[in-house]
A and B are shown apart, each in its own frame.
Chain A
Amino acid sequence: MPNLKDLKNRIASVKSTRKITKAMQMVAAAKLRRAQDAAEASRPYTERFTAVMAQLAASVGGSDSAPKLLSGTGGDQVHLLIVMTAERGLCGGFNSNITKLAKIHAQKLLAQGKTVKILTVGKKGRDALKREFGSYAVGHVDLSAVKRVGYVNAQDIARDVLARFDGGEYDIATIFFARFENVVTQHPTAQQIIPAKFEQAADADVTLYDYEPGEEEILADLLPRGVATAIFSALLENAASEQGARMSAMDNATRNAGEMIDKLTIQYNRSRQAVITNELIEIISGAEAL
């Protein structure tokens, strides 16, 4: 049985851990609000953008002259996996869920004999993939200096991704991120961004638009922006998911620490009482011996 002093120290250390996790939870809650607001603010843009793109893609998509970003290079040999994770840990399964999904995807592609290239965004993803897939890594985007992800960050990543596409480095690009559902649930998601895929809106309410300049020019202008938009919304979803995951992870940690403190306190009190009883027995038996 540990002695009283050890127990006391142990309780003190768990208490300070609880303080830290509690503080982290509160910080994450505040950041989550901001991240959710940012995601909310970007929604009108993304929604309109996708709607217009889907319409354009539907009318131009079939033709031979459709831009490569829409129709693809014709091959599917080389895949670029863009794995977007957080810069920091201590957020539950957030990072590992994303990298796990990416790993499964990569293994499947490799088993099919495809070539895989990996671009990581966020330090945690790079670290997690380094051992197994380090040789496939082609680049890394560091966002650790960025406090709030802005559209410029997405543009930078998109520019890199597009330059590689123009350079013929890959045929298909997929982004991996966690879609935010609520504080306890974040879904790791894989989304193909190049060639772009649009879900056809089933509604018949299609206005016939005049296009100025032509449909194809507009499409060619908008597709690269579409890549940036997709990356931007993935970054925002990721930011919200990260904070949500951290919040619930820290909530759990705080609760665990509380339970541990209770258990240790009971143990401490018991040992204290045992010591007192022992002393009493010694005194009484000493008095009786006289």
Chain B
Amino acid sequence: MANVQFDLVSPERRLASVAASEVRIPATEGDMTAMANHLPTITTLRPGVLVVVHDGGADEYVVSGGFAEISAETVSVLAEQALPKGEVTQAIYDQMVADAEAALKTAQADAASDDGKAVDAAKALSDTVAIGAAIGLTTRV
């Protein structure tokens, strides 16, 4: 089976660069799986878990913010925040949820001027909470 060149970069480092057979991306409008010969697509990301399947098995990364650029031979994911699943501790996860909650509060405060932002922030928060369920951490409420 043909492979695609997968790159995952965050502003601070390059997390992965492997030949993958499939990449499952948490896109804004729903999860999508990119394989070889995919239609060239650019999509934004929502907070979620990204799965890369390659010869050595499957790797999971927690990503949030940014976009994915998919072409026939390459998949590049540029995430503002990206961590291998194993590095996400309860403390980091709590921080992510707290950040999302704070963003929602600010957005709600501005809601009078821009309603769309509050909706987006609420969605981001629920997505972030959903990550916890996906990687086996609980929200401390």
Report which A residues bind B (CB closer than 8 A). Answer: 38, 41-42, 44-46, 48-49, 52, 56, 150-151, 154-155, 207-213, 217-218, 221-222, 225, 228-229, 232
B134 at the interface (CB under 8 A from A): no
Q: Given A52-B67, A52-B69, A225-B80, is A210 in contact with B42 using a C-beta cutoff of 8 Å?
A: yes
CB distance from A39 to the nearest CB of B (A): 11
B57 at the interface (CB under 8 A from A): no
The listed residue (A48, A155, A207, A222) touching B44 by CB distance below 8 A is A222
B139 at the interface (CB under 8 A from A): no
B5 at the interface (CB under 8 A from A): no
Q: Is there contact, CB below 8 Å, between A212 and B12?
A: no
- List 8 extra interface pairs beyond A211-B43, A225-B80, CB under 8 A: A48-B9, A48-B76, A151-B10, A151-B81, A210-B40, A212-B29, A213-B29, A225-B65
Q: Is there contact, CB below 8 Å, between B42 and A52?
A: yes
Residues on B with C-beta less than 8 A from A46 are 11
CB distance from A234 to the nearest CB of B (A): 12
B140 at the interface (CB under 8 A from A): no
Residues on B with C-beta less than 8 A from A150 are 12
B60 at the interface (CB under 8 A from A): no
- Interface residues of chain A: helix, strand, loop or mixed (majority): helix
The chain A residue sitting closest to B27, CB to CB, is A212
Q: Give the complex CA separation of A155 and B81 in angstroms.
A: 11
Residues on A with C-beta less than 8 A from B43 are 211-213, 218
CB distance from A258 to the nearest CB of B (A): 40
Report which B residues bind A (CB closer than 8 A). Answer: 7, 9-14, 27-29, 39-44, 65-67, 69, 71, 76, 78, 80-81
Number of A-B contacts defined by CB within 8 Å:
74
Which of B11, B44, B71, B81 neighbours the largest number of chain A CB atoms within 10 Å of its CB?
B11
Q: Is there contact, CB below 8 Å, between B11 and A232?
A: yes
Residues on A with C-beta less than 8 A from B76 are 48
Q: Is there contact, CB below 8 Å, between A45 and B67?
A: no
Q: Give the complex CA separation of A155 and B102 in angstroms.
A: 14
Residues on A with C-beta less than 8 A from B41 are 209-212
Q: Is there contact, CB below 8 Å, between B14 and A225?
A: no
Q: Give the complex CA separation of A74 and B7 in angstroms.
A: 38
Q: Is there contact, CB below 8 Å, between A38 and B69?
A: no
Q: Give the complex CA separation of A15 and B44 in angstroms.
A: 59
Q: Give the complex CA separation of A108 and B66 in angstroms.
A: 37
Q: Is there contact, CB below 8 Å, between B13 and A48?
A: no
Q: Is there contact, CB below 8 Å, between A213 and B28?
A: yes
Residues on A with C-beta less than 8 A from B14 are 41, 44
The listed residue (A151, A209, A229) touching B42 by CB distance below 8 A is A209
CB distance from A162 to the nearest CB of B (A): 12
The listed residue (B12, B42, B80) touching A211 by CB distance below 8 A is B42
Q: Is there contact, CB below 8 Å, between B39 and A210?
A: yes
8 example contacts (A-B, Cβ-Cβ < 8 A) are as follows A52-B42, A151-B11, A209-B69, A212-B29, A212-B42, A218-B44, A221-B67, A225-B66
CB distance from B2 to the nearest CB of A (A): 18
Residues on A with C-beta less than 8 A from B80 are 151, 155, 225, 228
